[in-house]
Structure 1
């Protein structure tokens, strides 16, 4: 019996790039195996969407704010309402949304509903908040088909503000007595983070023993890996002295290359080098020639240093 199982495993077709195996964790974040979640027939009311924020302004920033940036906000404009909406990385108690006393809606990005489509979840929470009294708003079950965030907002751009901590939680509260301890505890968990101004969706952070640049990029994975391999093989992926491209995250259908930086580098020193690297990357992306042996080896090394978040 065991021999038959081993033979079956050997003969199974290899997975295509980006495909999820039935026994692997479901990418929705539920903690279940794919075959028992979004891979099951009728296993989830909302189909799994690999690139949920595609088509939204600032897609790369949205991915960064959901997965990498501790404290940031951005205003959203609704298509059919003048109600003010504020997109936040994280809300108190990890709430999906909050209706403030002023009527403003705060929408939380760092919430794991595990219903397959974060944009659909955000849309459902936003619609619920439009009809809710002041307080916390959330989802208790899979919302099923319905408008996604793309269908509800009219933003052309995403104006991101990165905060030093979570003081924005009480920015509209006059009396903050009794909140100081919780706010201090939350702020102590925040690593200093800044968004570069010279390029899109690149975030410097200081995690104590190291500094990093984490840069979410919109290009399809295969083309981006080819381009990064060309630059790596040519030694053109060093942003500043002492920096090193160490790998990348894969989140919500996009790749986020990560550079290790020497302590003390800071964000300002990266502005011009990042812009120069972006120009070199665009040049490499336009190169459709076959990869050399050295470039293929570099590509393989980069592909092996990927960590999938979502």
Structure 2
């Protein structure tokens, strides 16, 4: 069910003031252990942000697009970008951080190779550089070769949208939808490779940030949630004890991804379920979850069986970021 991290940058639950084990790889992506890099006395200033997209419109969708969705886009309204289009994309050709197109529009990539501890600040720095390149009348790829300064804007500081409109694509043909013939030829190999690796995916319409996907001979629902981890685990444990965590007959709740400070519960679905059949069950589950969350906020305590289920869930998490 899991997409493996592009690098081993797992944040441990304890061991430093940043919540990172000294023996873990440093989240900045240097390849050194945290204790020898940003965790060292006199080392670089700590840069790791555990929930980098907090405050970003549609934060849960942004996390899902960065970590789980193969091909998706969302337009951004950006200060200082003028009337040019800025399009947030899961992946660009060659995993480019940004692309200034011939018409001055900007495509901003989420799934990239660099990692300097705060993906939102990285995106803000890349977007700032792309805007400058576009204003200079230039086009082409824009990237980062070093960590942005702490005074660099973060993406949520630059975006004025209150919510994002996400489109999930069948593949990456949108890369060349309006490209000239020679550009299509140049991107053909990258396009074929990207399309071949893209699992069929659909975003549910009745709830937020829930994505059905078909991977190999299995189907899954992956639903990125905004709640704090401890609260969500408690709510899921309560619903499990009442049998209300089963979305459709034959489905199984199998665990969670942890990425960028949020949890993404995952259900294994019977083959042939499809996205449409999940719409009503997902909406019903959302209502039950909301009711349980309200009970917890009101001081409801877990029973011993519910605490046991919660502990089991805590051990069924895969950290991506």
Counterpart for residue 226 of structure 2: 218
Does residue 147 (structure 1) correspond to residue 153 (structure 2)? The answer is yes
Equivalent residue pairs, number? 298
> Given that residues 44 and 115 in structure 1 are in contact (C-alpha distance below 8 angstroms), is that contact kept between their aligned partners in structure 2?
no
SS at match of 1:236: coil
How many Å separate the matches in 2 of 1:271 and 1:260?
16
TM-score normalised to structure 1 length? 0.91
Does residue 102 (structure 1) correspond to residue 110 (structure 2)? The answer is no
Deviation at 1:107, TM superposition (A): 0.4
What is the Cα-based RMSD across aligned positions, in Å? 1.9
CA deviation profile, 1:269-289 (whole Å, cap 9, x unmatched):
100000110111111111232
SS at match of 2:220: strand
Deviation at 1:202, TM superposition (A): 0.5
SS at match of 1:197: coil
Counterpart for residue 203 of structure 2: 195
> Given that residues 93 and 191 in structure 2 are in contact (C-alpha distance below 8 angstroms), is that contact kept between their aligned partners in structure 1?
no
How many Å separate the matches in 1 of 2:283 and 2:232?
17
Counterpart for residue 51 of structure 2: 51
Does residue 21 (structure 1) correspond to residue 21 (structure 2)? The answer is yes
- Spell out the pairing of 1:125-164 with structure 2 (5 A cutoff): 125-132=126-133, 133-145=138-150, 146-164=152-170
Does residue 278 (structure 1) correspond to residue 286 (structure 2)? The answer is yes
How many Å separate the matches in 2 of 1:286 and 1:164?
37
Deviation at 1:261, TM superposition (A): 0.5
Deviation at 1:41, TM superposition (A): 3.9
How many Å separate the matches in 1 of 2:141 and 2:191?
18
How many Å separate the matches in 2 of 1:46 and 1:98?
29
Counterpart for residue 254 of structure 1: 262
Deviation at 1:29, TM superposition (A): 4.8
> Given that residues 93 and 190 in structure 2 are in contact (C-alpha distance below 8 angstroms), is that contact kept between their aligned partners in structure 1?
no
SS at match of 1:177: helix
> Given that residues 213 and 219 in structure 2 are in contact (C-alpha distance below 8 angstroms), is that contact kept between their aligned partners in structure 1?
yes
Cα distance change, pair 213–180 in 1 and its aligned pair in 2 (3 A): same
How many Å separate the matches in 2 of 1:42 and 1:158?
41
> Given that residues 38 and 116 in structure 1 are in contact (C-alpha distance below 8 angstroms), is that contact kept between their aligned partners in structure 2?
no
Deviation at 1:31, TM superposition (A): 4.0
Deviation at 1:27, TM superposition (A): 4.0
Runs of 5+ unmatched residues, structure 1 = 1-13
How many Å separate the matches in 2 of 1:248 and 1:272?
22
How many Å separate the matches in 2 of 1:222 and 1:25?
25
> Given that residues 244 and 260 in structure 1 are in contact (C-alpha distance below 8 angstroms), is that contact kept between their aligned partners in structure 2?
yes
How many Å separate the matches in 2 of 1:42 and 1:122?
27
> Given that residues 229 and 296 in structure 1 are in contact (C-alpha distance below 8 angstroms), is that contact kept between their aligned partners in structure 2?
yes
> Given that residues 247 and 282 in structure 2 are in contact (C-alpha distance below 8 angstroms), is that contact kept between their aligned partners in structure 1?
yes
> Given that residues 24 and 34 in structure 1 are in contact (C-alpha distance below 8 angstroms), is that contact kept between their aligned partners in structure 2?
yes
SS at match of 1:275: helix
How many Å separate the matches in 1 of 2:27 and 2:49?
9
Deviation at 1:35, TM superposition (A): 1.7
> Given that residues 45 and 144 in structure 1 are in contact (C-alpha distance below 8 angstroms), is that contact kept between their aligned partners in structure 2?
no
CA deviation profile, 1:101-152 (whole Å, cap 9, x unmatched):
0100110000142211101000000010112120110011111121111111
Runs of 5+ unmatched residues, structure 2 = 1-13
Cα distance change, pair 31–305 in 1 and its aligned pair in 2 (3 A): farther
